[in-house]
């Protein structure tokens, strides 16, 4: 049962609750309490045309309001890698559909997987099940995902001639992303934020230059010195393609977009300032021109040395990884920008009481405005589903006072 249908059911029974899990003692997937008529999710043979205005409104989801720094009744919460292998229902589906690309490039499967954590835990954000490499074939870069090696690009771009394979992004080749976002927006409505995401140009370039994943980044880092014009041309092409892809996701229904510069933290701060920041800043500028009210989040793994520089990109929200103390991060960034994070994912393997205490600490350090609760990285494989449920239960029970949120 979805959060929307459960809320409607409670309303029809005269129950008033802003925290269904805490006050009623059940989660969204416990359907025995209500007739099946309340279940909102169903596969549709025809997708309704969805028109999205890139502007704010009074009905914006809690997460969108927090991203903009508006007053909220409690901090919204979602998790990176929210849908995935820690969920038994996902593992069962993956057995039937073993190809990751099939799961992430088939509309019905994308929607089903994206909604699995929504129906189980009622997070405040529903992120589309996809990958930062998904749009690569749409602008001329083919890739495979191998079981052991992970992403593999057979023709890395390391010369001027290789650049000729690139072309403007063909959004029809990622139609499944747009279709999925439209359905997710219809299913979730404004009861949670639908989240899209992209990789930052530097991070996407690392895969394209290295030919896949790497631990050393030697090819692309050396290119900064041996072929800077080539690297700039590649990053510029990626910037335009990614900006168009962001706008496409927003126009398809995404309330909010997260930019993952996953490997930006592998650069020294001065190198990140030169080789990553300008291109993220350009994406923000292009998107702002088209969708000025759509919140943009920037996350970098290992970003402790980059926080102030990240703020200079113009995004609305800075995601902190778990190695940054939230109080220190808030002090360094100031109160004029929102923050996201940053519970250590490993806490979800600890006793539930420790999870509660850590959530309270992080939320208090972040302050009463402009905070989206999240992990400091993605959900780890093997994470107990009970701990994920507890994470969201605790969040929904938080109350606000003038200075911070506390457990009610």
Which letter does DSSP use for residue 47 in this model? P
pLDDT, position 18:
35
Number of other residues whose CB lies within 10 A of the CB of residue 156: 16
Averaged pLDDT, 220-239:
98
User: How do residues 8-27 score in pLDDT, each as one tens digit?
Assistant: 333 333 333 333 333 333 34
Number of other residues whose CB lies within 10 A of the CB of residue 111: 24
With b for 16 or more beta-carbon neighbours within 10 A and e for fewer, the 276-297 pattern comes to: bbebbebbbebbbeebeebbbb
User: How do residues 58-89 score in pLDDT, each as one tens digit?
Assistant: 689 999 999 999 999 999 999 999 999 999 99
User: How do residues 380-405 score in pLDDT, each as one tens digit?
Assistant: 999 999 999 999 999 999 986 655 55
Rounded Cα distance, 177 and 128, in Å? 8
Rg (CA), the chain: 21
Residues with Cβ < 8 Å from 230, sequence gap 6 or more? 158, 159, 160, 163, 223
Residues with Cβ < 8 Å from 191, sequence gap 6 or more? 3, 4, 7, 61
The residue ranking higher by pLDDT, 400 or 240, is 240
pLDDT band at 54 (very low <50, low <70, confident <90, very high): low
Rounded Cα distance, 139 and 236, in Å? 13
pLDDT, position 137:
98
Rounded Cα distance, 337 and 347, in Å? 26
* Share of residues in the chain with pLDDT > 70 (%): 84
User: How do residues 286-317 score in pLDDT, each as one tens digit?
Assistant: 999 999 999 999 999 999 999 999 999 999 99
Rounded Cα distance, 260 and 353, in Å? 31
């Amino acid at each position: 049962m979805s959060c929307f249908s459960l809320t409607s059911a409670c309303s029809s029974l005269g129950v008033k609750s802003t925290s269904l899990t805490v006050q009623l003692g059940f989660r969204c997937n416990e359907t025995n309490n209500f007739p099946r008529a309340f279940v909102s999710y169903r596969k549709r043979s025809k997708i309704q045309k969805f028109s999205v205005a890139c502007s704010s409104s009074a009905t914006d989801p809690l997460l969108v309001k927090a991203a903009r720094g508006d007053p909220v009744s409690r901090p919204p919460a979602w998790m990176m890698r929210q849908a995935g292998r820690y969920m038994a229902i996902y593992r069962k589906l993956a057995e039937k559909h073993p190809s990751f690309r099939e799961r992430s490039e088939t509309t019905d499967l994308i929607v089903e997987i994206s909604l699995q954590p929504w129906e189980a835990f009622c997070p405040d954000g529903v992120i589309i099940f996809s990958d930062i490499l998904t749009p690569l074939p749409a602008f001329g870069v083919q890739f495979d995902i191998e079981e052991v090696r992970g992403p593999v690009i057979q023709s890395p771009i390391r010369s001027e001639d290789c650049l000729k394979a690139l072309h403007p992004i063909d959004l029809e080749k990622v139609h499944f992303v747009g279709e999925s976002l439209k359905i997710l927006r219809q299913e979730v409505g404004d009861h949670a934020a639908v989240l899209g995401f992209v990789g930052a140009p530097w991070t996407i370039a690392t895969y394209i230059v290295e030919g896949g994943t790497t631990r050393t980044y030697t090819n692309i880092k050396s290119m900064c010195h041996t072929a800077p014009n080539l690297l700039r041309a590649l990053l510029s092409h990626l910037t335009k393609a990614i900006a168009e892809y962001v706008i496409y996701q927003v126009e398809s229904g995404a309330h909010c977009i997260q930019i993952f510069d996953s490997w930006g933290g592998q650069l020294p701060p001065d190198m990140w300032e030169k080789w990553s920041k300008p291109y993220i800043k350009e994406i923000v500028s292009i998107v702002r021109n088209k969708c000025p009210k759509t919140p943009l989040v920037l996350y970098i793994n290992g970003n402790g040395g980059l926080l102030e520089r990240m703020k200079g990109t113009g995004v609305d929200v800075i995601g902190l990884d778990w190695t940054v103390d939230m109080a220190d991060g808030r002090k360094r960034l100031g109160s004029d920008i929102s923050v996201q994070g940053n519970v250590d994912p490993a806490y979800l393997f600890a006793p539930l009481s420790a999870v509660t205490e850590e959530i309270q600490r992080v939320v208090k350090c972040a302050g009463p405005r402009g905070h989206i609760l999240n992990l400091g990285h993605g959900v780890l494989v093997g994470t107990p589903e009970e701990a994920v449920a507890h994470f969201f239960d605790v969040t929904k029970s938080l109350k606000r006072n003038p200075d911070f949120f506390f457990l009610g």
